């Protein structure tokens, strides 16, 4: 069997493994609702519906990453760039990520400079980047912790940082985190290792940069930068405000 065939088989096996758990849970929960709806209390029904909703959102995110990864591999990743306010993109994806964070009682805290320039961005693709970064942060953070999302300007670029309170990134793994199918030594079957590679490809398609660093107080900060539209930058005071905040959470 060729190396390509072995890799394809491994990827297909991982996809099947990733899908099996949430699909089984969806099947079981929907069967319970169908069978016992008339005798279930309203709170029980609400919990079950919330569970179905979270798993449906997770599956949609997985499908988006798989389709995007396939487009990247075929050299056909497309971004449609229009004047975009990153704050609006963040607000658009909150209804997607907050139910996922609620499962572990985590909270998304958003901080932004009062003035931000627009960027030339594909809102749907940038939303996908943010969802991937936030769900990645959630995966490595503990129960009832806060995930910090910061939007500001640094060195003339619009920078978005997602900071978690997990174990941090080992120095020997940091340079490979954005590689396709790299799982940072994880062997527990949690995740396919494509989310961060999708992040990098989308940001680079916007002529931007991505990176990661460890927080001094524990955890990691994943960030991406985009050039402001038509060279517009924020005021000096708003840039300093964002820098101060990043030092506080670091």
User: Are the C-beta atoms of 99 and 53 separated by less than 8 Å?
Assistant: yes
Cα–Cα distance, 93 to 83 (Å, whole number): 18
Series of mean pLDDT values for 10-residue runs along the chain (250 residues): 51 72 86 91 91 88 88 90 96 93 93 93 97 94 94 95 91 82 55 84 96 90 93 44 40
Using CA atoms, how far apart are residues 191 and 83, in angstroms rounded to an integer? 33
Q: What is the pLDDT of residue 78?
A: 92
Strand, coil or helix: what is 151?
Answer: strand
> Could you say which DSSP state residue 146 is in?
E
User: What class, spelled out in words, does domain 82-249 have in CATH?
Assistant: alpha beta
**CB distance 66 to 16 below 8 Å:** no
CB 116 within 8 A of CB 158: yes
* Beta strands 82-84 and 157-163, pairing class: unpaired
DSSP state of 164: -
Structure token digits, residue 17: 């493994």
- In whole angstroms, give the CA distance from residue 126 to residue 151: 13
Residue 158 β-bridge partners:
153, 226
Domain with CATH 3.30.565.10 in the chain: 82-249
Residue with tokens 């300093």, as numbered in its chain: 240
User: What CATH number belongs to 3-73?
Assistant: 1.10.287.130
pLDDT the model gives residue 184? 61
Instruction: Specify the pairing of strand 146-154 against strand 107-112.
Output: parallel
The whole-model pTM stands at 0.81
Residue 234, both tokens: 């924020």
Query: Residue 69 in contact with residue 181, Cβ under 8 Å?
Result: no
CA atoms within 13 A on the CB side of 91: 6
- What does each C-alpha distance from 107 to 1, 132, 165, 173 come to in angstroms? 47, 16, 12, 27
> How many distinct helices (H) and strands (E) make up the chain?
6, 7
Phi-psi region of 182 (alpha: psi -120 to 50; beta: other; left: phi over 0): beta
CA dist., res. 208 & res. 239, Å (int): 19
CATH 1.10.287.130 intervals, the chain: 3-73
């Amino acid at each position: 069997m060729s190396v390509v065939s072995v890799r394809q088989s491994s990827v297909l096996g991982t996809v099947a493994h990733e899908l099996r758990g949430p699909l089984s849970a969806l099947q079981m929960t929907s069967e319970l609702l169908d069978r016992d709806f008339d005798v279930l209390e309203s709170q029980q029904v609400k919990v079950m519906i919330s569970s179905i909703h979270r798993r449906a959102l997770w599956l949609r995110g997985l499908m988006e990453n798989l389709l995007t990864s396939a487009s990247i591999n075929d050299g056909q990743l497309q971004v449609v760039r229009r004047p975009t306010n990153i704050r609006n993109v963040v607000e658009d994806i909150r209804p997607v990520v907050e139910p996922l964070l609620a499962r572990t009682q985590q909270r998304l805290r958003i901080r932004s400079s009062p003035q931000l320039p627009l960027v030339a961005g594909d809102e749907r693709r940038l939303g996908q980047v943010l969802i991937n970064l936030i769900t990645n942060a959630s995966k490595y953070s503990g129960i009832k912790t806060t995930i910090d999302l910061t939007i500001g300007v640094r060195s003339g670029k619009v920078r978005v940082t997602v900071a978690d309170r997990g174990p941090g990134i080992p120095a020997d793994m940091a340079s490979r985190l954005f590689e396709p199918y790299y799982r940072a030594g994880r062997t527990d079957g949690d995740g396919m290792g494509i989310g961060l590679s999708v992040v990098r490809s989308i940001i680079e398609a916007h002529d931007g940069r991505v990176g990661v660093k460890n927080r001094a107080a524990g955890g990691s900060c994943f960030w991406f930068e985009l050039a402001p539209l038509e060279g517009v930058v924020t005021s000096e005071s708003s840039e300093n405000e964002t820098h101060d905040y990043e030092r506080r959470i670091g």
